Amino acid sequence: MNNYFRKTTSAASLAIFRIAFGLLLFGSVLRFSAKGWINELYIAPKYFFPFFGFEFVRPLGNLTYVLFAVCGLAALMVALGLYYRVASITLFLSFTYIELIDKSTYLNHYYFVSMICLIMIFLPAHVFFSLDARRNPKVHFDEIPLWSVHCIKLFVCIVYLYAGIAKINSDWLLEAQPLRIWLPAKNDLPIIGRLFNYLWVAYAFSWLGCIYDLSIPFLLLKNSTRIFAYGAVVTFHVITSILFPIGMFPYIMISTALIFFSAEFHSSIIQKLGTLLKVSTQFLHPQKQYRYPTMQVKAVLTVFVIFFVIQGAVPLRYAFYPDDLFWTEEGYRFSWRVMLMEKAGYAQFTIRDSEGKKIIADNKEFLTPLQEKMMATQPDMILQYAHILRDHYSKQGFRSPEVFVDSYVSLNGRLGKPLISPQTDLSREKESFYHKPWILPLDHEITGL
């Protein structure tokens, strides 16, 4: 074991990863801003849905632009390897803060980015081919501990494996849901579109998608299969980017998977970049090994052990909840459950008080279309919104208002039915990690992992 932790590898792998990841994130921030989403998602809404336990994360109003600027700048600095520690910590904190403002915008790939940023803080990604290394020969190395590269690989493997395991369920494999709904919607694409009219194609996509997720980590790890596997990674993510509106994610995954290539591969890229940028041979070959200071190495390794234990455990927490995961979404987030559900809903709230005051809330007065769409199918957001309404109408002269919801949700092609008990006064219910007994049962079993 000690032997393993003493092994080193070329610093080129992490350097390439750092540059690619930093630039892609920088690009993402620019894209986000260019689309006007900063205002649309984080400034314009009147109310927000913070995560349980992270209620202290508040929207920043116009300062959100500054937050994004900081995030973009930090991403660029990470790419350049400039003031790397400060930059990587800033990147993690600013990006994560943004993602914690509103649940409505939760996407697994943002969580992925956030976690990679966290890992990066602890890795010596800046010791080679960076401005830091150029400024300060003391932090200039070309060999780094092998395990530091393995951390990224392990995390990517966990993501793919859990994404694959999540697909082992009856809806995905036996019903080809939700792809049988989503694919025909794309049947007007040139050339491949007409294929989506066939049900067997939805089945083929479902099964191959599952096999892909479950096998790709192993195929990427093995030398003999890596090049095929990478071809599959590119193909898979390009196809998903054509079919689904998932923004930068495919490109982030395609770049991330480069980490699986050999040290020689990365070194040769660095060589080419070096020639392009006309840097000295000495800059590319400092011939020094990076070692964590003895005091630090134990701490860093402990951090990673804890991190990976949590990563391994969090996606399994759903097992502690009764009823169906897809329906209740208790333990659904942060688990690499990607594109598994076509869920649509409708929720209408009635607020009344003991003096006979009664009003049905006009959701658009409170929420954006995106927030309303997300809220209508997710019990924890329904509860948060009920509390928003309770507090609002208290101020409007309702005396300890009660809040009831008339909800109707359709999941993976099943006919819609009420999601929340209409008799439950949500104003009194509290958010917790316990099961919410006021979620009505689905009545259809979805079996699987």
Partner 1 sequence: MALKMNRQFVYVWFLTIFFWSCGGNGKDPSPEDNGKDRKVILTHWVDNIIVPAYGNFKTKFDAMKAKADAFTTSPTTSTLAEFRVAWVDAYIEWQKVELFEFGPADEYTLRNFFNIYPADVTGIAANLSDPSVNLDLPSSYARQGFPALDYLINEVGADEAQIISFYTTQPDAGKRVAYLKRLTDRMSALLSNVITGWPIYRETFITKTGLDIGSSFGNVVNAFVLYYERHIRSGKIGIPSGATIASAGTVNPDKVEAYYKKDVSLALAKTAHKAAMEFFNGKNVSTGAAGPSFKSYLDALEAKDVTTGTMLSKIINDQFETINTHLDGLAADLSQQVQSDNQPVVETYTSMQKLVRIIKVDMTSAMSVTITYTDNDGD
Peptide bond preceding 286: is omega within 30 degrees of 0, i.e. cis?
Answer: no
The strand ranges marked E within 237-318 are: none
**Which residues in 430-449 contact partner 1 (CB under 8 A)?**
444
Q: Give residues with Cβ within 8 angstroms of 21, minimum separation 6.
A: 78, 79, 116, 120, 252, 255, 256
Among 92, 212, 321, 393, binds partner 1 (CB under 8 A): 212
Q: At closest approach, how far in Å is the CB of 439 from partner 1? A: 17
**Closest CB to partner 1 among 225 and 262?**
225
Q: At closest approach, how far in Å is the CB of 140 from partner 1? A: 38
Among 37, 65, 111, 198, binds partner 1 (CB under 8 A): 198
Asked if 337 interacts with partner 1 (CB under 8 A), we say no
Q: What's the angle, vertex CA 88, arms to CA 108 and CA 291, rounded to 5?
A: 115
**Which residues in 169-188 contact partner 1 (CB under 8 A)?**
181-182, 184-185, 187-188
Q: At closest approach, how far in Å is the CB of 330 from partner 1? A: 22
**Which residues in 232-251 contact partner 1 (CB under 8 A)?**
232, 235-236, 238-239, 245
Q: Is the dihedral of CA 352, 356, 357, 360 positive or negative?
A: positive
17 contacts 256 by C-beta, under 8 angstroms:
yes
Q: At closest approach, how far in Å is the CB of 322 from partner 1? A: 21
SS3 428: coil
Give the per-residue contact string, 368-407, with partner 1 (x = CB under 8 A; - = no): -x--xx----------------------------------
**Closest CB to partner 1 among 97 and 393?**
393
Asked if 359 interacts with partner 1 (CB under 8 A), we say yes
Asked if 190 interacts with partner 1 (CB under 8 A), we say no
Helices (H) and strands (E) in the chain, counts: 20, 5
Q: Is the dihedral of CA 186, 192, 197, 203 positive or negative?
A: negative
Query: Per CB under 8 A, which region of 72-80, 120-128, 215-223, 292-300 contacts partner 1?
Result: 215-223
Among 4, 5, 52, 228, binds partner 1 (CB under 8 A): 228
Neighbouring C-beta atoms of residue 121, cutoff 10 Å? 19
- Reading the block at residue 70, the tokens are 């900081």
Cα 274 to chain centroid distance, Å, stands at 33
Q: At closest approach, how far in Å is the CB of 273 from partner 1? A: 29
- Reading the block at residue 180, the tokens are 């049988």
100 contacts 51 by C-beta, under 8 angstroms:
yes
Asked if 66 interacts with partner 1 (CB under 8 A), we say no
Q: At closest approach, how far in Å is the CB of 185 from partner 1? A: 4
419 contacts 408 by C-beta, under 8 angstroms:
yes
Torsions phi, psi of 355, nearest 5?
Answer: -90, 10
Asked if 326 interacts with partner 1 (CB under 8 A), we say no
Asked if 413 interacts with partner 1 (CB under 8 A), we say yes
294-299: list long-range contacts, CB under 8 Å, 24+ apart. Answer: 297/5
Q: Which residues bind partner 1 (CB under 8 A)?
A: 181-182, 184-185, 187-188, 191-192, 194-195, 197-199, 204-205, 208, 212, 215, 218-219, 222, 224-225, 228, 231-232, 235-236, 238-239, 245, 342-346, 348, 358-360, 362-364, 367, 369, 372-373, 408-410, 413-416, 444
